[in-house]
Amino acid sequence: MTTAATPTSAVALRVGLAALAALAVNTGIALLASLLDAGGLGIGLSPVAYLPATVAGVLVGTVGWTLIARRAPKALRVVVPSVLVLTWVPDLLLLTAGATAANVVGLMLMHLVVTSAVVTAMRPARD
């Protein structure tokens, strides 16, 4: 059984749709976290911060996925969750800067959304 390579246009469409979905979900998370962050710093919860970061995260994740999938596809099972946890470290450090738990949890959820979007867009389709 052979598998055909996915056409670049199909991958680009999936990544674009994943980015749009991530933007929409992250907007909802940011709005909710902002409501729960009353009087907090609100770090990363404004659209000017999270919208470009979401797109950049999807694009960087896509490039990373592509590079790893070509060389060591089984490594994705370890690399993806490891990178997600690493992205949470700066979020948690914001607690020392005075950010509220709502702010930090919101950012952590936003990273999870971006990761999920990339995995959904890049995971090979199963017959």
The share of the chain scoring above pLDDT 90, in percent, equals 87
Kindly give the interhelix angle for 8-36 and 47-71, rounded to the nearest 10 degrees: 140
pLDDT of residue 2: 43
- Whether residue 127 is predicted with pLDDT greater than 70 in this model: the reply is no
Secondary structure class of 8 (helix, strand, coil): helix
Q: What pLDDT is stored for residue 7 in this prediction?
A: 83
List pLDDT tens digits, range 40-51. 899 999 999 999
Whether the per-residue pLDDT at 89 is higher than 80: the answer is: yes
pLDDT at site 44 = 96
* Domain spans in the chain, listed from the N-terminal domain onward: 10-122
Interhelix angle 76-93/47-71, rounded to 10 degrees, is: 150
Say if CB 62 and CB 15 are below 8 A apart: yes
Task: Please compute the mean of the pLDDT values over residues 81-93 and round it to a whole number.
Answer: 98
Nearest-angstrom CA–CA distance, 23 and 75: 27
